[in-house]
Amino acid sequence: MRRASARIAAALLGGACLFGPPGAAFAQGTGSVTLDAVKARGELVCGVPGNTEGFALPDSHGVMRGIEADGCRAIAAAIFGDPAKVMYVALSTQTRFTALQSAEVDVLIRTAAWSLGREATLGTEFAGIYVYDGVGFMVKQTMGVASAKELDGATVCMQPGTNTELAVAEYFHEANMKFTPLLIDNLAEILHAFTSGRCDVICRISTGLASFRASQPNPDDYRVLPEIVSKEPLGPVVRKGDDKWFDIIRWTYFAQLIAEEHGITSGNIDEHMSTTDPEERRMLGLEGDLGKALGLDNKWAYNAIKAAGNAQEIWDRNLGALGIPRGLNALWNKGGLMYAPPMR
C-alpha cells in the first residue's frame, strides 16, 4: 500500500513538473527555424494582397498601407525593433498558400479565412483572428434589389478557389435559387466585370465589398445587401511545425489587443513605461522575461505597439477610415469577440 502511495505521489510530482510554473526544463521550448532565417536575412517576408484598400495597398509614395500591412509591420518591429524591415509580397488567392508552403514568405496575412480544410490538408496553421468577417453580396442600385433572396438567376462574379465560391454555392442551393458563376482570379478584373455589367452581383467578404464601394467615385451607386452567408474569420497563417514562430505571430496581435484594453496607444506608450500595473510591466518588458521566452528582446511588444498601434488604432486607421463599423471586431468588454489571454 505504501509503495502504491509512493508511486502515486511520484506521478503527481511528475505532473507538477510538467505543468508547473516557468522554470521547468522545457519551459523555453525549442528554437524557431523561421525566426532564425528571418534574423539572418535581416527582414520579414510577408505575404499580402497588395491590391485591396484597407487591407494592403501601396499609397502614393509606394508605402504599403492597410490592416494586413500593419500586421506585417508590427511583427517586424517585434523582431527587429524596426517596422520598416519588411518585404511585402503581393499574392493572389491562387498562389497565397503555395507561397507559404514553399517558404517564399515567412507569414501569410492575406485575407485568408480560417477553416478545418486549410489546417488539415495544407500544412498550415492559423495564429489567431484579426477580422471576424463573412461573405456578402453587392449589387448596383439600378438593379432594384434589396435582399440576396431576390438574386435567383443572377450572374455572380467571384474569385475561384476561395471559401467565397463554396459559401455562395451553398447559399443558392439552400435557398432553392439558381445562379451563374463568373470566376475570375484577378480582383481588378472582377471589379471591372461587375461595373461593366458582365455580372449582376459581386461576392466577397463583407469588408472587401465595403472597401470596393468606398473606393468608387460614386459609392451610392452600389448597395451591399444585408445577408452575410458564411463565417470567414481572417487570420495570419504560418507553416505547421514551427511552434515558436507561431507563438510570435499570435502573441504580437494579442499584445495589441491587451494594449487596447489598458488604453495604451502608439502615442502614449512611453508614458506607461512608469506603470505599476503588473500586466503592463510584463508586456512592456519592464519585468520578467516573456520576450526572451519567445526568442525576442523583452521590449518586443513595446516595439510592436509603438510602431503599429493597438488593435483599435489599426482598425480606425484602415477599415474604420472606409466607414466599416468594428462590430464583432470590438473588444470582448465592448460588445465584440476580440479577447486576448493574459500576458503572464
Position 16 scores a pLDDT of 35
Confidence of residue 186 (pLDDT cuts 50, 70, 90): confident
Model confidence pLDDT, tens digit, residues 240-286: 999 999 999 999 999 999 999 999 999 999 999 999 999 999 999 99
- The distance in angstroms from the start CA to the end CA of the chain is 41
CA distance 273 to 280: 9
pLDDT reading at 5 higher than 50: no
Position 187 scores a pLDDT of 84
Complete DSSP assignment for 132-191: EE-EEEEEEGGG---SGGG-TTEEEEE-TTSHHHHHHHHHHHHTT--EEEEE-S-HHHHH
Identical fold at 33-132+234-325 and 135-230?
yes
pLDDT reading at 51 higher than 50: yes
CA distance 305 to 45: 20
For residue 57, the number of C-alpha atoms closer than 13 Å in the C-beta half-sphere is 15
Q: Each residue of 85-113: b (16+ CB within 10 Å) or e? A: bbebbbbbbebbbebbeeeebbbbbbbbb
Where in the chain are the domains?
33-132+234-325, 135-230
Count of Cβ atoms closer than 10 Å to residue 41 Cβ: 12
In CATH, which superfamily holds the domain spanning 135-230?
A: Periplasmic binding protein-like II (3.40.190.10)
3-state secondary structure of 232: strand
Bridge-partner residues for 223, per DSSP? 139
- C-alpha cell read off for 80: 527587429
User: Minimum mean pLDDT among 18-32, 91-105, 155-169: which range?
Assistant: 18-32
Confidence of residue 27 (pLDDT cuts 50, 70, 90): very low
Q: How far is CA 155 from the centre of its chain?
A: 30
Model confidence pLDDT, tens digit, residues 61-70: 999 999 999 9
Decide: pTM greater than 0.75: yes
Model confidence pLDDT, tens digit, residues 91-149: 998 899 999 999 999 999 999 999 999 999 999 999 999 999 999 999 999 999 999 99
Count of Cβ atoms closer than 10 Å to residue 211 Cβ: 22
DSSP E strand boundaries for the chain: 44-48, 57-58, 64-65, 86-90, 107-108, 124-126, 131-133, 135-140, 154-158, 179-183, 201-205, 222-224, 232-234, 237-239
User: Minimum mean pLDDT among 12-16, 261-265, 304-308: which range?
Assistant: 12-16
Q: What average pLDDT score do residues 36-44 get?
A: 98
In CATH, which superfamily holds the domain spanning 33-132+234-325?
A: Periplasmic binding protein-like II (3.40.190.10)
pLDDT reading at 21 higher than 50: no
Confidence of residue 18 (pLDDT cuts 50, 70, 90): very low
Position 211 scores a pLDDT of 87
Position 209 scores a pLDDT of 93
pLDDT reading at 150 higher than 80: yes
pLDDT reading at 20 higher than 80: no
CA distance 274 to 115: 42
Q: What average pLDDT score do residues 149-166 get?
A: 93
Burial class (CB in 10 A: 0-12, 13-18, 19+), 122: middle
Position 163 scores a pLDDT of 86
Burial class (CB in 10 A: 0-12, 13-18, 19+), 251: buried
**Which amino acid is residue 127, in one-letter code?**
A
Position 188 scores a pLDDT of 86
